[in-house]
Amino acid sequence: MIEEFPEDTYIYALTYYTNPMLRLFIILFIAVLSLVSCSEKKSDNQIYQKPLKEELDAYCTYLNADSSLHDSTYLPVFYQRFNRLVDENKIDSASQILFWAGRNMASNFKYDTAFLRVSINFVARHGSRIQGRYFSGIYHNIGVTYCDNGEYDRCSYYLNKGVIEPKDFYTYQNVADINYGLIFGHLNNGKLEQSLKSAYKAAEMFEEQKDTTFLAACYSGIACIFRYQDDYVAAENYENQGLKIVRKAKDTTGILTVSLNRIDLYNQMQHPNLFPFIDSTVNIFRQWTGKIEDDKLAVNSWYAFKLIHDNKLAEAKKVLEEIKPISLKRSYGSSLDYYYNASSAYDVKVGKGSENIGFYLKKIPQLKENEDYLRLALYNQILHDDAFMKGNHKAALQYLEAAQIAQDSLNNRALRIKVKEFDRKYQSEKKEQQIALQNKELTQKNTFIALLIASIIGLIAAALAYYLWQRQKTLKQEKESSTNFTKQLLENTEEERKRIAGDLHDSISHELLNLKSNLTQDTKIVSKKIDTIINDIRGISRNLHPVMFDKIGLIPNIEQLVERIQNQHNFFISTEINYSGSLNSANELQIYRVIQESLSNIIKYANAHAAKITIDEQPTHIMIEIKDNGNGFSVKETLNSGKAFGLHNIIERSRVIGGEAQIHSSADGTIITIHIPKTL
């Protein structure tokens, strides 16, 4: 039970930091709240319809202004006016200035125990005389101040006191805000079901008001509940729903609200999109006209954190110096926390001690009291880095151990909450499951072993079957290729015989008959015809087998072949031959036939203007290359077509002499390359 403050009691205990996952929501909640119109009149028909603006008196205007809050006379002005109104029994006016002052202080994270004491006692004593708008609003200010300061029991207690039946727009709005604040008060106390109920209630009320900013914030609140249970998938799903709402409404304030929360989620998840999302959020903030100092501090602290990660230290320093004046106005809050963390990261990065070590040492006892394990882990890690850099290894080890303890507590916290909540419900079921598991353990092990063995055998059998199938397929293809080659060889042999027979019949026989009929003519004519017959016979002979190949060798025969083809066809052939005659005559003849076949194919099919023959003898091998500038063709399709006897002939002749033929063809021409090891 939370006790009210007696009038003569002053609160001295100050705790600055809340759980970081909750703190961001409070900042955004208060920041967005400050964007809402300060003074509006209620609707005649609907309590969720935004009323017209109303004018505030000079005191309320001053107390509600952010700029006034930093005046040294701010609280004295408030107390002087407030006490006078209370003394004059003007409770309605007193509650009004108390509300606006409390709202301004909560929005700017000004924690003042005396002011809280005055607020609590005033509303407790005069509650029945205070308008619903200010009654719920004052309790809301008290509750969110405690929530942001990490005092979650007090937060929930005072927020609940402000829940009344709304009869006007402002009260309705305050009650919606209270339900939103209860999301985090209940959540940090481990009351997940109550936290979720508050989130749904707040979402329902904000939807009635068509307030897309806070509606999206409610979805972020639900995401926070799932984050507490380490269910990051569900958390990100609710963040996406909230972002979808504000994007559809083109609500820049809401987009920024959800985006900042997603940065916090991504940071906790160590999500790979953390730094790109920081960049996009910075761009949103730069285009936003309704900038708030606390948002500027939070966004730019994250941006500096990103720049430090990218090693852009000069830019990071500039950003930190720009927002430092804002940080000096804060005594606590998540945005200030982000600033200190970025500043310390910068100090460590540049190799100097952190300027904020005293801050972290001072806050650690308070964080332990509030069980803020995430910040405990972070602060101890920062202290470890600083001590290690300064060579104080003993202290560095102590801080590292403390960070690990905090991290372990953080990892177990959500689990403890969940187990405690559902322990009774599932206790008997767990026992039954344990007995069933023990009874089936041996069977499961045997089944697993049997399945494992069967799987291994199956995999081996499948692999063997696949290998045999592939082998059979390869052998079949090779057999078909060999059969086709043999068939084509026989057909070509017959064609060659037919051609020779035709040459003998059409040329030699014809000339001999003419010679016979001209024996009585001039001997010069007879001699000329005999020479023609001899040349024809030599041509046929050369086509069948190069003359004196064994005696004159490969190079002269290639030169004769090139000369003959160039004389017979309008075709240019160049040669580049570096060969010492290291192969035997039989192998040289196969090379000659390969070159002959290649040139024949070029003339018949390539539509080329020139070709080049290269023979390059190296210590380990001989390289032969026949290149043309023709049209090119698909090598694979041609070889598989069954009509590429010439290409198969080249490949087979290369294999016969222990070489390997490679055929490459493109639109720029064709290159046939043959590598023959000299060891053969």
Instruction: Give the tens place of pLDDT for each residue, 67-113.
Output: 888 888 999 999 999 999 999 999 999 999 999 999 988 887 788 89
Measured in whole angstroms, how far is the alpha carbon of residue 54 from the centre of its chain? 50
Mean pLDDT along residues 522-530: 69
Local confidence band at 477 (pLDDT 50, 70, 90 cut-offs): confident
> Hey, what CATH topology would domain 549-677 get?
Heat Shock Protein 90 (3.30.565)
Collapsing DSSP to helix, strand or coil, 282 comes out as helix
Confidence (pLDDT) at 483:
61
Residue 234 pLDDT greater than 50, yes or no: yes
User: Residue 572 pairs with which residues in a beta bridge?
Assistant: 610
pLDDT of residue 623: 95
Query: In this predicted model, which residue has the larger pLDDT, 342 or 227?
Result: 342
What does the alpha-carbon distance between residue 624 and residue 618 come to, in Å, rounded to a whole number?
Answer: 11
What confidence category does residue 370 fall into, taking pLDDT thresholds of 50, 70 and 90?
Answer: low
Instruction: Give the single-character DSSP code of 629.
Output: -
Task: Please name which of 232, 203, 205, 204 lies closest in space to residue 217, comparing C-alpha atoms.
Answer: 203
pLDDT digits (tens, 9 = 90+) for 449-467: 888 888 888 888 888 888 8
Tokens (6 digits) for 493: 């042999």
User: For 101, left (φ over 0), alpha (ψ -120 to 50), or beta?
Assistant: alpha
User: Minimum mean pLDDT among 194-203, 290-299, 453-462, 474-483: which range?
Assistant: 474-483
Contact (Cβ atoms closer than 8 angstroms) between residue 281 and residue 302: yes
16 vs 416, higher pLDDT: 416
Question: CA 631 from chain center: how many Å?
Answer: 46
Helix (H) or strand (E) segment spanning residue 510: helix 510-517
CB neighbours (10 Å) of residue 636?
10
> Are 382 and 360 contacting, i.e. CB atoms less than 8 angstroms apart?
yes
* pLDDT tens sequence across 627-648: 999 999 998 888 887 777 788 8
pLDDT of res. 672 = 96
3-state secondary structure of 140: helix
Residue 569: band (very low, low, confident or very high) from pLDDT cuts 50, 70, 90? confident
The number of helices, as runs of H, and strands, as runs of E, in the chain is 27, 5
Q: Which residues contact 207 (CB under 8 A, 6 or more apart)?
A: 215
Span 329-354, average pLDDT: 78
Share of the chain above pLDDT 90, in %: 24
Which whole number is the average pLDDT over 192-208? Answer: 88
Torsion angle in degrees (nearest 10) through CA of 451, 456, 460, 465: 20
Cα–Cα distance measured from residue 221 to residue 25, given in angstroms and rounded to the nearest whole number: 7
Question: What is the rounded distance in angstroms from the CA atom of residue 638 to the CA atom of residue 551?
Answer: 37
Task: Render pLDDT for 420-445 as a digit per residue (tens, 0 to 9).
Answer: 443 444 345 546 666 776 777 778 78
CB atoms within 10 A of CB 35: 10
Using the predicted structure, report yes or no on whether residue 490 has a pLDDT greater than 80. Answer: no
Can you tell me the mean pLDDT for 390-406? 85
Region 203-229: mean pLDDT is 86
What is residue 640's three-state secondary structure? helix
Q: How far is CA 465 from CA 458, 471, 473, 478, 577, in A?
A: 10, 10, 12, 20, 50
Distance of CA 61 to the CA centre of its chain: 49
Q: How far apart are CA 107 and CA 202, in angstroms?
A: 20
Question: For the residues 518-536, what does the mean pLDDT come to?
Answer: 68
Half-sphere exposure in the Cβ direction for 239 (13 Å, CA): 23
Q: Is the pLDDT of residue 560 over 60?
A: yes
379 pLDDT more than 90: no
Give the span between the Cα atoms of 382 and 370, in whole angstroms.
19
- The mean-pLDDT minimum among 210-214, 385-389, 546-550, 574-578 falls in 546-550
Record the tokens describing residue 278, joined without a space: 């920081």
Pairing of the two strands 669-677 and 621-628:
antiparallel
Question: Residue 413 — very low, low, confident or very high, per pLDDT cuts 50/70/90?
Answer: low
Cα→Cα distances 623→54, 447, 539, 598, Å:
97, 61, 30, 15
As annotated, the residues of the chain forming the CATH 1.25.40 domain(s) are: 9-210
Q: Which residue has the higher pLDDT, 405 or 31?
A: 405
- Average pLDDT, whole number, for the chain? 79
Query: What is the structure's pLDDT at 612?
Result: 96
The class that CATH gives domain 9-210 is: mainly alpha
Q: What is the mean pLDDT of residues 615-637?
A: 92
pLDDT above 70 as % of the chain = 76
Tell me where in the chain the CATH 3.30.565.10 domain(s) lie: 549-677
Distance separating alpha carbons of residues 330 and 584, to the nearest angstrom = 96
Q: Please say if the pLDDT value at position 505 is more than 80.
A: no
How long, in residues, is the chain? Answer: 680
SS3 210: coil
